[in-house]
Amino acid sequence: MEKEKHLHNNEKDGCCNHDHGHQHGEGDEHDHDHGDASSFKTYLPAIFSLTLLLIAIALDYFKVDFFTNYIRIAWYLLAYIPVAYPVIKEAVVTILKGEIFTEFLLMALATMGALALGEYPEAVAVMLFYTVGELFQGAAVEGAKKNIKALLDVRPDTANVFRNERFETVKPDTVEIGETIQLKAGEKAPLDGELLSDSASFNTAALTGESTPKTFRKGEIVLAGMLNIDQVIELKVTKKFADSALSRILEMVQSATSRKAKTELFIRKFAKIYTPIVFFLAVALVAVPYLIVADYHFQTWLYRALVFLVISCPCALVISIPLGYFGGIGAASSHGILFKGSNFLDVITKINTVVLDKTGTLTHGVFKVSDIKSEIDETKFMMVLASIESQSTHPIAKAIVSHYDDKQLLNVSDVKEIIGHGLTAEIENQNVIAGNTKLFKKFKIQYPTVVDEEVETIVLLAIDDKYAGYVTITDEVKIDAKEAVQSLHKNGINQVVMLSGDKNSITQKIATTLGIDVAHGDLLPEDKVARLEEIKRDKTRVVAFVGDGINDAPVLALSDLGMAMGAMGSDVAIETADVVIQNDQPSRIVTAIKIGKATKSVVYQNITLAFVVKAVVLILGAGGLATMWEAVFADVGVAFLAILNAIRIQKMKF
């Protein structure tokens, strides 16, 4: 699959054996590639070299007669070439491109120098362990990619679309909006679509990380990637293949590794300066003693310089740090959380203030009409109210129309929507207004004072400027919302704020129930922006905003970290956000913070490990107290340990 290939290429960026981003520009690819870490052929050169090396060491140890002179040299060269050739080739390629000081050159010079000095076992061992380190890294990357790449397997390659009086199997990208597709039991939806069947159950794990089946009713939107569980159903396609929820998720995942964390970028810049410095220090280690040491022996100091080169190779850093961030992105995706870049894993660790939208974030956003208070005939009242609300896409409007239960609607004309207030329209030559109390005050329409005492959300109706009644709308708080707020406080969040366009009375009621520190209701989109700007005036605050609606997009963009509820959230909110929570659970906000902190901890542990071990062995090597074998541990051994540490992120429980 083309997208899978693209993802694989993206993910190679920054890894020592693949792209070496510290030496090359973003996305620059090289021929040097150890291939698929799961392929046995990938390991053959290392196995061949290891076998020959072990046999050679045994023959040396037992001083076998025939294993001398040219036979011994040829044997070690035969062991050296399979693992050394790709590295030497890459060193030549990078030199021809004008990038001289790379770890490839360091390894090539060090091992060829060791061969020249007759240190054949060390030369083969250094290159062998370097190659094994790369293979180990490749396997680690494959493991880290596993959770992310699983997304690539959930998108079907075909769709059964109704054309020419029958269902035809076609590619999903050829299906148009409005066409009908059929899903059999066990098939995944290839595109987003409106359910035409009465009901159906779906496994949504591919998108949300939740394995519990979810039931959809007729008219509800089924997203691409959801697995139809128990019956043949039909969907009316609502979005093209490229615009489906799953395609957007894949695009986010594919581009995630291109956004580097500051730590990762620093290490790349550091390696670019560090590598030539250690090269010239190695040269100095050979040249300077000639001027100051009385019994100078060229081969001794050359060997020390070669050891110095092996130790100083920056692979442990340039492998383990990107892998650490990549592991964090993978761990998050397995929990239904998509980070759009490793830089956001860094940002989330600094968050100390979380600002939450109410509807769709802390509540389900599934509204129901709970009570009707009308001054006119109730049937007439609901017919007029449902008719005008049918012109709006707001969830509350949909709840009112749904409650009316698809009965006959009246013709509506001259519709005007007043954002954050309601609607005005002409219905049967009558001027109709539907909305909140602010809208009625705006048009100076009198209504009973008891309406202002209602705690729940209400929608009022006026016909020809005369109050006709209202309906009460209720919305259910998500089951894990209270736990989420409590966990935020326990995990270093100093203040949790709720901003809502809903009535202030109901906003305060929910805030008290959930234990939220500060809450503001009756907010228009611009009011939310103003409130967030007010919070951000305190420069000590690092603010995350969590929302799901179109009206949340400006606040998501303004915050230090924008988090969108992805399963039910609007396209605009998902595109604007830095992190997407696919299963819509507020508790996953805390999970995202924990994953960010765990990733940062692992990355800093790896940096410390690499620097400390290398510094110690560099000093020992320069003093002649460390051999090539210690150098191998300082380079490849530290890389092994760092990779193992990075893999831990995948295994942690959050």
Select from 149, 230, 151, 236 the least CA-distant residue to 191.
236
- How confident is the model at residue 400, as a pLDDT? 93
- How confident is the model at residue 84, as a pLDDT? 95
Select from 428, 429, 431, 427 the least CA-distant residue to 445.
431
HEC string of 531-592 equals HHHHHHCCCCCCEEEEECCHHHHHHHHHCCEEEEECCCCCHHHHHHCCEEECCCCCHHHHHH
Model pTM score: 0.67
Instruction: Report the length, in residues, of the chain.
Output: 654
Q: Which two tokens stand for residue 121?
A: 């076992």
Could you tell me how far CA 367 lies from the centroid of its own chain? 31
Question: Are the C-beta atoms of 512 and 485 separated by less than 8 Å?
Answer: no
3-class DSSP assignment, residue 316: helix
Intervals of the chain under pLDDT 70: 1-39, 137, 140-155, 205-212, 245-246, 248-261, 264, 316, 406, 549-550, 567-572
CATH code that applies to domain 368-474: 3.40.1110.10
| b/e code 267-305 from CB counts within 10 Å (16+ = b) | bbeebeebbeebbebbeebbeebeeeeeeeeeeebbbbb
339 contact partners, CB below 8 Å, separation of at least 6: 256, 328, 329, 332, 345, 578, 579, 592
- How confident is the model at residue 453, as a pLDDT? 85
Question: Active-site positions?
Answer: 357
Residue type, 179: E
Mean per-residue pLDDT of the chain = 83
652 class by beta-carbon count within 10 Å (0-12 exposed, 13-18 middle, 19+ buried): middle
For the chain, which residues make up each domain, given as ranges? 2-150+254-330+597-651, 176-239, 343-364+477-582, 368-474
- How confident is the model at residue 411, as a pLDDT? 92
CATH code that applies to domain 176-239: 2.70.150.10
Select from 590, 564, 593 the least CA-distant residue to 577.
564
Question: Are the C-beta atoms of 134 and 16 separated by less than 8 Å?
Answer: yes
DSSP state, 35?
-
**CATH superfamily ID and name for 343-364+477-582:** HAD superfamily/HAD-like (3.40.50.1000)
What gap in Å lies between CA 290 and CA 276, rounded to an integer? 22
Reported as half-sphere exposure (CB side, CA atoms, 13 A), residue 361 has a value of 31
Q: What's the Cα-to-Cα distance from 381 to each of 372, 445, 463, 470, 593, rounded to whole Å? A: 9, 17, 10, 9, 48
Q: What's the Cα-to-Cα distance from 76 to each of 114, 135, 221, rounded to whole Å? A: 12, 21, 65
| Tokens 């080169």 -> residue | 309
600 contact partners, CB below 8 Å, separation of at least 6: 263, 345, 346, 349
